[in-house]
Amino acid sequence: MSAIDSVQNPVYVYERPVRLWHWVNALALVVLAVTGYLIASPLVAPDGEASEHYLMGYVRFVHFAAGYVLAVGFIGRVYWALVGNQYARELFVPAIHRAEWWDGLWHEIKWYLFLVPEPRKHAGHNPLANMAMFVFYVLGALFMIVTGFALYGEGLGQGSWASRWFGWVIPLFGQSQDVHTWHHVGMWYLVVFALIHVYVVIREQRLSRQSMTGTMIDGWRNFRDDRP
Binding site for another protein (CB under 8 A): 40-45, 47, 50-57, 59, 112, 114, 117, 154-155, 157-158, 167-168, 171, 174-178, 180-182, 184-185, 187-188, 191-192, 195-196, 199, 203, 206-207
> Cβ 26 to another protein, closest distance in Å?
17
Beta strands in the chain (DSSP E): 11-12, 220-221
Sign of CA dihedral 62, 68, 72, 73: positive
> Cβ 50 to another protein, closest distance in Å?
4
Report the C-alpha gap between 31 and 25 in whole angstroms. 10
> Cβ 207 to another protein, closest distance in Å?
6
Q: Which of residues 88 and 179 has its CB atom nearest to another protein in the complex?
A: 179
> Cβ 30 to another protein, closest distance in Å?
14
> Cβ 44 to another protein, closest distance in Å?
6
Taking 3-state DSSP, the helix, strand and coil percentages for the chain, each rounded to the nearest 5, stand at: 70, 5, 30
Q: Which of residues 40 and 78 has its CB atom nearest to another protein in the complex?
A: 40
Q: Which of residues 89 and 120 has its CB atom nearest to another protein in the complex?
A: 120
* Whole-Å CA distances, 158 to 9, 61, 111, 195: 57, 20, 52, 38
Q: Which of residues 43 and 83 has its CB atom nearest to another protein in the complex?
A: 43
The 3-state DSSP class for residue 193 equals: helix
The 3-state DSSP class for residue 93 equals: coil
Determine whether 159 is exposed, middle or buried from the number of CB atoms within 10 Å of its CB (0-12, 13-18, 19+). exposed
Q: Which of residues 67 and 73 has its CB atom nearest to another protein in the complex?
A: 67
